[in-house]
Structure 1
Amino acid sequence: MSQNQRFASITGCGQGSIGEALVKEYFARGLHAIATLLPFEKSDHPDEAGITWFKLDVTSEQSIIDLKHELDILTKGYLDVLVNCAGIAYTMTAIDTDVQAVEKMFQVNVIGPMRMVHHFHGNFIRASGVIVNIGSVGGIVPYMYGSSYNATKASLHHWSNTLRLEMSPLSVRVVTIISGEVGTNILKSDNLRELPEGYFYAPLKEEFKAHVQRTVKGATDRFDYARNVVAQSLRSSPKAWLWYGGSAGIDSMFYRQFKLNKVKKAYPASSKQV
């Protein structure tokens, strides 16, 4: 690590998020924790906690450049921890996907971390620091209605894997977090989303509505999640991959959980005419 004072910057720290829990945990452990908020987000929660914050839109090159300028002044060019946590969700069946919405999600979930590492690499190389990329179990298993979101996380995982190899001779560690179900508000933008009328998945209209409006049972508390992730990230030799959060299973479990038999009954193989 760099100096007596260690610095940790976390993207995506809006109220109710994993990022908020992470930045508070780094702060509690004595690091100078730096939250980033979207330009339209309120700052009451970091203000009340006494946490430094800056505005950031990870889809904007200029916004990242502006943040780097601010942090270089604050940290003298060092960054011990960078957590790429900013992310958005998009819930829909693969065949009914709005590609423009997915392009925006890739900009946040995948290109955003790439931009951050591109601009800040000198800071954590100088500090012999650690990069933490917040992935998802959806990038590993076929979580229903999440094909596009899952694709962003799978992309992030593989990029992170190669980044770990490339950063190793520069004394920078890279940790990929495979997050299960964590109690956050990430689904707030999907709350009113509906399946299109009259299409193949119409039989699951009510189930889909319940899914996007659900309160996840058995979800991991985000502050418990943060304690585990932060503890791992601060180890001298952290795990390359850390699985944490409510678990997910295999295809058969999802088939039952999401009642895909209703689709099968509505469109039997003998009558498939697409």
Structure 2
Amino acid sequence: MSRDKKFALVTGCGKGGIGEALVQEYTRRGIFAIATVLPNENSDHLTATGITWFPLDVTNEESVISLKEKLSSLTDGYLDILVNNAVMLTLYRDLLGYTMTAIDTDVEAVRRMFEVNVFGPMRMVRHFHGMLIEAAGTIVNIGSIGGVVPYMYGASYNASKAALHHYSNTLRLEMSPFNVKVLTVISGEVGTNILKNDVHRELPEGSYYEPLADDFRNHVQRTPKTTSRFEYASKVVSQSLRPSPAPWFWTGSATGIIRFLDMFAWRTIWDFLFYREFNLNKVREAHLTKKKNA
């Protein structure tokens, strides 16, 4: 039985982010796009463009269940596309772009990051899988090149994205009997507001990486070359609407070279490249000098 409308739910649609661009693109293509924002988060940018939105905190079970009840009524129990994009919620501004060396990481802070980046998508799938199965729909998990390569100062974020990638791989297999597709987007750097929230972060006093304090400060204040979030959204939406989307879809700044090296180079190629790029020899020399003078 054919249906007049197709429905896409996109989590994490705060102003200036990827989610906002995604719901706009789905709407442009004739899909009934439904956005979510955090409870008490400004939603004027969605209301102004006529996009239906609901409050949602993916770390809260009751919030997810409440959204499911509202959507079931709105969509008659179908959901064609679920985009798990709420990966860096403004609920945890101290975690936005959490940049820190692995050994200096605040583990309790990172626990909250995993609640959003990993357990959030798991929670959404747990409660919305029935609606997706009814629609023979598509789950889109927004991953990152950080989950593929050991990008310096990003151990915690990288780990959360790697976990999401592997969860998606197994989910893709397990949902295949129901004709539900799972698309993992390996995102490069996209032009959003995320990095602005991390510009004041510094290495802790006494860190073994203190010789890189200035480098670290320059790193968090950098302005990287990025892909437009609207260009990114156009490509992701196109892929998600295909009858058979790619299992992994690489898009965004730097994904071309990273995909090539990940496929054809030896596994430790990144150690060699990043050791030089991030001046790790400064740390080694300082460590050796300290040991010698001890």
Q: TM-score, normalised by structure 2?
A: 0.89
Q: Which runs of 5+ in 1 are unaligned?
A: none
- Is 1:267 the counterpart of 2:287? The answer is yes
Q: Which amino acid aligns with 2:232?
A: Y
Q: How many residues align?
A: 273
Task: Please point out which of 126, 132, 135 is paired with 1:124.
Answer: 132
Counterpart position of 1:115: 123
For 1:18-33, list aligned pairs within 5 A. 18-33=18-33
**Partner residue in 2 for 1:235:** 242
Change (3 A) 1:269 1:158: farther
| One-letter amino acid of the structure 1 residue matched with residue 249 of structure 2 | L
- The secondary structure found in structure 1 opposite 2:217 is helix
Number of the residue aligned with 2:94: none
Aligned residues of 1:2 and 1:80 also touching (Cα < 8 A) = no
In the alignment, the residues of structure 2 paired with residue 270 and residue 48 of structure 1 have an alpha-carbon distance, to the nearest angstrom, of 60
Question: Cα 1:272–1:5, aligned 2, differ >3 Å: closer, same or farther?
Answer: farther
Please name the residue that 1:226 is paired with: 233
1:92 lines up with 2:100 in the alignment: yes
Q: Deviations over 1:50-100 (max 9, x none)?
A: 111111000000000111111111111110000000112321100000001
Unaligned runs of 5+ in 2: 89-96, 259-269
SS in structure 1 opposite 2:234?
helix
User: Is it true that 1:135 corresponds to 2:146 in the alignment?
Assistant: no
Query: Match for residue 80 of structure 1?
Result: 80
Paired with 1:124 and 1:252, the residues of 2 have a C-alpha distance of: 43
- Aligned equivalents of 2:44 and 2:292: distance in 1? 54
Superposed CA offset, 1:138-166 (max 9, x none): 11100110001000000000000000000
Tell me the residue number matched to 1:245. 252
Tell me the equivalent position of 2:70.
Answer: 70
Aligned to 1:46: 46
Match of 1:187 among 195, 199, 213: 195
Amino acid at match of 1:58: V
- 1:111 is aligned with what amino acid? F
Q: 1:5 to 1:253 in 2, by over 3 A?
A: same
Cα RMSD of the aligned pairs, angstroms, is 1.8
Provide the secondary structure at the position in 1 that maps to 2:136: coil
- Partner letter of residue 107 of structure 2? V
Alpha-carbon shift at residue 251 of structure 1 (Å)? 2.6
> Aligned partners of 1:186, 1:245: CA distance in 2, in Å?
15
The residue that corresponds to 1:178 in the other structure is: 186
Instruction: State the SS of the aligned residue for 2:233.
Output: helix
Contact map agreement 1:7 1:78 (CA 8 A) in 2: yes
Normalised by the length of structure 1, the TM-score is 0.95
Q: Distance in 1 between matches of 2:113 and 2:133?
A: 28
Match of 1:55?
A: 55
Distance in structure 1 (CA, Å) of the matches to 2:204 and 2:191: 28
Cα distance in structure 1, aligned partners of 2:131 and 2:289? 57
Query: How far apart are 1:49 and its partner, in Å?
Result: 1.3
- Provide the C-alpha distance between the structure 1 equivalents of 2:219 and 2:157, rounded to a whole number of angstroms: 15
Does the CA-based 8 Å contact 1:183-1:221 persist in structure 2? yes
Which range moved further: 203-212 or 14-23?
203-212
> Residues 11 and 272 from structure 1, CA distance in 2 versus in 1: closer, same or farther, beyond 3 angstroms?
farther
SS at match of 1:49: coil
1:58–1:113 Cα contact (<8 Å) kept = yes
CA deviation after TM superposition for structure 1 residue 44, in Å = 1.4
SS of 2:249's equivalent in the other structure is strand
Instruction: Using the TM superposition, give the Cα deviation of residue 2 of structure 1 relative to its aligned residue in structure 2, in angstroms.
Output: 6.2
**Quick one: distance in 2 between partners of 1:257 and 1:45?**
39
